[in-house]
Structure 1
Amino acid sequence: MIGATLDRPLADRAAVDEYLDGWFAERVDRATSHGRDYVLLWQAARDGAAGGKRIRPALVLEAHAAFASPNSAEAVRLAAAFELLHTAFLMHDDVIDHDLVRRGAPNVAGRFAIEGLARGLSSARANELGEASAILAGDLLLSGAHRIVAGLDAPVGVRELLLAILDECVFLAAAGEHADVRQSGGAPGEGDILAMIEHKTASYSFSAPLQAGAVLGGAPAESVLELGEIGRHLGVAFQLRDDVLGVFGAVDVTGKSVVGDLREGKETLLIAYAREHASWQQVAADFGCAELDESGARRLREAIESSGARERVERLIDERCDDAVAAVGRAGLPARLTASLTATARHCVERAR
């Protein structure tokens, strides 16, 4: 079920990984005629797509199988396209955040920055090379995702609808990312932050994969619309839980720093709610401080807790989960998909990583 795939490999992951391996191998081979550096770029992009939970492919395949079981080769290709889309967004996001590491290893920007230093470039110039390389790699994967969907063996009307779904989720994700950057250093309210989450995360991570899989599987239009709404609630619950884990999670479980978001000054609902409490002013100077250490982070966490912000976010996660479950119940979806989406909603609330 989808909920289970958030913590363990999905059953069809091997097929998605096999397709992606072949897709990248063909492009690495094509790159050889353009020199070593371009080969390195494609290899870095390939490695950037490796690992991860494959949540988006899981959603595509689960939605498709509910209406056209078993999954077809075209469904696997569609699932792979969404993983490429996700990887592209991660690469661009790392550039925006000036991050050189992803999943505990140098990302595309980090690899080319290291390469630049080894060639004698200054630190600043090496970082410029790294970020430029990551932007280009992300662009290539975005193009690749669209090319895969455009080439699916499906009726013209289905392909056009799938491309429209892909285009819309990219459009919304860019709007959300731009809002996220714009909100940095400001004091966005609840409405601004939730809108940003719906655009940046929910659209391409949940709504679009579910809708695309259903469309390819021949689902009725009403079901496709319902899946978009369900995905919106799931995406918000998932991101809010991610924000909580980014501050209060267990590092040995999440593999993610619980100081990074606070040091970066990431504007989340935790912070928006905490700002409403007088106690926040005593620690506000530490938020977004580049030199923030664990001691300072602990003070910020205590202020967030005492303000009631964490409790309010937890309640909102529960509410979004309930909204998702209610929407699933109303949708009249196939039993398998109903059970999977309900499990996923519960998992968004309970997950620890």
Structure 2
Amino acid sequence: MSEVATAQRRAPVDIHGVDARLREVMARARMLSGATTVGEQLWDALQTMASGGKRIRPRMLIDAHTALGGTDSRAAVDAACAVELLHIALLIHDDVIDKDLTRRGELNITGRFAMDAMLRGAGAADARGWGEASAILAGDLALTMAHSVLARLDVDADRRRAMLDVFERAVHESAAGEQQDVWLSLRLEQATPRDVLHTLEQKTAAYSFQAPLVLAAVLAGAAPVVIDELTDIARLLGVIYQLRDDVIGLFGDEARTGKSILSDLREGKETLLIAYARTDADWPGVASLLGDEKLDETGADKLRRVILESGALDRVEADITERCVQVNRLIRCAQVPEVLKEQLSALATACGERSA
């Protein structure tokens, strides 16, 4: 289990209640679909993906809801299922966008369906198209289930509407952040550090941290000032998490992360590391390597060397430290129970120090 998962306290509500509820939600949707044999295979793949994961976002939501005095455990579990289904949907779509065939060292949905089609005689291009189409549909199903769960919450209409508004904003911001991320990777215009940080806030912070914390607060009936404070805290947590993720993506241990340390460079991902390194005098000599789909270890080492020698890694590490200080200051001043302050502080530390 990752540092982020272990850093969070367990809420009185058993987190495994989320797993059971996810199975119920998916079983209902599957029954409504009237799927063919091929469709059943898609549901099987989606079920497999939903059965894994650390449940970081559901745990965050349930812990925060309990700490804020919330008592509607059933609605909290449903909301936790919604954020997990959103996470699953975005992961699936992200793999399609990044043209990835694997996730955590195993075939993802695109890879599974493409491989099956090739084994049945399809050409590589057609098999890839079939795999990507299947993955897009699987992500659509997960996203629809997430909205359905929230829309059916057994709470008063005003509260349900407020929670749907929070969720809708998270989806919209995440989509905007994802599109901006892809746009920056085209390198038709030079990405500034400010561009990169804004993208991180939208792509990662909005759905991974802000949505769980704010949904929990709304469900618990927290005051508007608390919701505003948690929003600010969540935005910083998301940026810290993603900055560390980008460092791990280039300098991490593949055996622990299950992700190639070549993939971000091959995709031409515009990270803060790259934005800083681009200002170095040695950057033009390696610039053409970024985004090279055939990049090998030798080329990757050249890029990493410039990133290190330019001071870009040191600057990002300093940015992470600075934001950890900022978020802990916000946490200390927040008008929330002490137990939630402890949870959020531990989460901030975990986000900044994790290695996988």
TM over 0.5: yes
Correspondent of 1:212 among 211, 215, 218 = 215
What's the TM-score once normalised by structure 1's chain length? Answer: 0.95
Match for residue 180 of structure 1?
Answer: 181
**In the TM superposition, what is the alpha-carbon distance from 1:47 to its structure 2 partner?**
1.4
Instruction: Percent identity, please.
Output: 46
Match of 2:355 in 1: 352
Instruction: Report if aligned partners of 1:6, 1:53 keep a CA contact under 8 Å in 2.
Output: no
Query: Which ranges in structure 2 are unaligned for 5 or more consecutive residues?
Result: none
Per-residue CA distance 1:116-172 (angstroms, 9 max, x = gap): 223322111111111111111111111110110011111111100000000000010
Matching residue of 1:5: 5
Q: CA deviation at 1:286?
A: 1.9
- Note the alpha carbon deviations across 1:58-110, whole angstroms, 9 max, x for none: 11111101123566121111101100000000111111111111122211111
For the residue of structure 2 that corresponds to 1:133, the secondary structure is helix
Distance 1:235 1:219 in 2: 22
How many residue pairs are counted as aligned between the two chains? Answer: 351
| Amino acid of the structure 1 residue aligned with 2:19 | D
Q: Within 5 Å, which residues of 2 pair with 1:50-199?
A: 50-68=51-69, 72-186=73-187, 187-199=190-202
CA contact (8 A) 1:61 1:71 kept: no
Contact kept? 1:3, 1:345, Cα under 8 Å:
no
Determine the structure 2 residue equivalent to 1:322: 325
Q: CA deviation at 1:256?
A: 1.7
Which runs of 4 or more aligned residues in structure 1 lie more than 4 Å from their structure 2 counterparts after TM superposition? 6-11
- Residues 270, 334 of structure 1: alpha-carbon distance in 2 compared, 3 angstrom cutoff: same
Stretch of structure 1 that moved more, 194-203 or 216-225? 216-225
Q: Partners in 1 of 2:198 and 2:71 — Cα distance? A: 36
Question: What residue in structure 1 maps to residue 270 of structure 2?
Answer: 267
Contact 2:103 2:259 (8 Å CA) reproduced: no
Taking the aligned partners of 2:27 and 2:112, their CA distance within structure 1 comes to: 19
2:251 touches 2:261 (CA, 8 Å); kept in 1? Answer: yes
Give the 3 Å change call, closer, same or farther, for CA 28–147 of structure 1 in structure 2. Answer: closer
Match of 1:224 among 206, 224, 227: 227
CA distance in 2 between partners of 1:319 and 1:37 (Å): 50
Deviation at 1:174, TM superposition (A): 0.5
Contact in 2 for aligned 1:226/1:327 (Cα 8 Å) = yes
Output the amino acid matched with 1:348: C
The more displaced of 276-285 and 202-211 is 276-285
Distance in structure 2 (CA, Å) of the matches to 1:267 and 1:280 = 14
Of 330, 336, 339, 1:336 maps to 339
CA distance in structure 2 between the aligned counterparts of 1:9 and 1:51, rounded to whole angstroms: 20
| 69 and 171 in structure 1: CA distance in 2 versus 1, 3 angstrom threshold | closer
Distance 1:257 1:3, change over 3 A: closer
Point out where structure 1 has 5 or more consecutive residues left out of the alignment: none
User: For residues 245 and 10 of structure 1, do their structure 2 counterparts lie closer, same or farther at Cα, with a shift above 3 Å needed?
Assistant: farther
Which whole-Å CA distance do the structure 1 matches of 2:297 and 2:4 have between them? 33
Task: Give the secondary structure class of the aligned counterpart of 1:278.
Answer: coil
- Work out the CA distance in 1 between the residues paired with 2:224 and 2:9: 30
Query: Which residue of structure 2 lines up, in the alignment, with residue 310 of structure 1?
Result: 313
Please list the CA deviations of residues 171-223 of structure 1 after superposition, one character each: whole Å capped at 9, or x if unmatched: 10010011011111313111111111000100000011100011111211111
